[in-house]
Amino acid sequence: MVGSFLFGLIISKNLNSVTKKILLTGFFSCFTSFSGFIYFLYEILNQGNWIKFIIFLNLIITINLFTMLFGVWISSKFT
């Protein structure tokens, strides 16, 4: 979630195109790797709990989206 927040901060900043691309596709893509997220969901699927899988999938994606939007909002307040 920290990565999503920082991603939102960078999106709304007036940085040049190269700097923004390096930060967003380089650093934050590695920082916010969803490999842990995928492994967590894989373990739930191995247990055969489809309802828990669907709930966690939607919950994690929604929370990260709103965290990113919060970062954009915070950045716009300080700009």
* 7 against 58, higher pLDDT: 58
- Cα three-residue angle 9-15-18, rounded to 5 degrees: 115
**Cβ density class 61-79: b for 16+ within 10 Å, e for less:** eeebeebbeebbeebeeee
Q: Tokens 């970062």 label which residue? A: 71
User: Cβ distance 7 to 72 under 8 Å?
Assistant: no
What's the pTM? 0.72
- Structure tokens given for 42: 């894989």
When mean pLDDT is compared over 25-34, 35-44, 66-75, the highest value belongs to: 66-75
User: What SS3 class is residue 34?
Assistant: coil
